[in-house]
Chain A
């Protein structure tokens, strides 16, 4: 299983990458939305984990673009952010329209929970 981590902070990104690799994933890091689009095209990940607080193009802008490509519509996207879900945008329908598989709030999510939840959702998706 392959995951793409879109995480602007270098140290956090390395910690997440290592946790996923320890669980048997192949993980790749992108620190911004622009490079993520290119990487998805090459990597064909089974899941994308994105921080929405990013510089340049935000995670929401990335997700809007990402969801506009039909061939990527089946790739589950997880938000792993340092802002809580209730602060996510002004429109409560935003999350639903972006088809988010799960929202992780970083301060309350352990590495183990992050990896386990992503793994479980990918496996369930592959089973169906």
Chain B
């Protein structure tokens, strides 16, 4: 049910674009983009449901590659929302022992929420970052210098999950689908979504514990 309600916005976007008198090739591109994004959200949602009760299969994964892949997948959506999407991977990161689809789903949910909830008349910047915060501990997160994310607003987003339109873990959120998805998948990984600050920008993210055996490689 939450998924249906939250996807409604994307269907409404497609409907509005297709009804426009100025329908052109750009409109078609937008429809393809919004359809692809909706399908990605559905895919991650179904994936998260599949692993609510069972353990996620773990393999060696590059957190940097995950961040890069999510950023690439969201670049066009960000452009459509007039959001500047950056990637920040400044360190060499060792492989982690995790589930690649879950990591991608968490980051995708958080980042797309931030993009969709852009504020008017102001250029919004969203940064996807992967970093090692302590030996053997890596953190993936989504940050923005333009959006205020307080612990209260994150709690409010969790309460609101599924009640309205597309989602964000922000004070301006109206639903919380991204956060709900990310909560479910981080729980499956044995981690949790938390609020962090990265280079002076507030954001949300999660720790991915690194395998001690892999760190010797």
Contacts and interface: CB of A to CB of B under 8 A. Distances in A.
Contacts, number: 78
B8 A107 contact: yes
Interface string B159-183: 0000011100011111000000000
A105 B135 CA distance: 54
B22 A18 contact: yes
Given A55-B172, A107-B12, A111-B16, A32 B120 contact: yes
Interface residues of B, number: 31
A110 B117 CA distance: 24
Contacts of A9: 9, 12-13, 116, 165-166
Nearest to A58: B174
A55 B22 CA distance: 30
Interface string A54-74: 111000000000000000000
Nearest to A11: B13
Contacts of B62: none
Interface string B3-17: 000001101110111
Contact of A18 (B8, B20, B80): B20
Given A16-B16, A56-B171, A107-B11, 6 more contacts: A8-B165, A10-B80, A15-B13, A55-B172, A83-B164, A107-B15
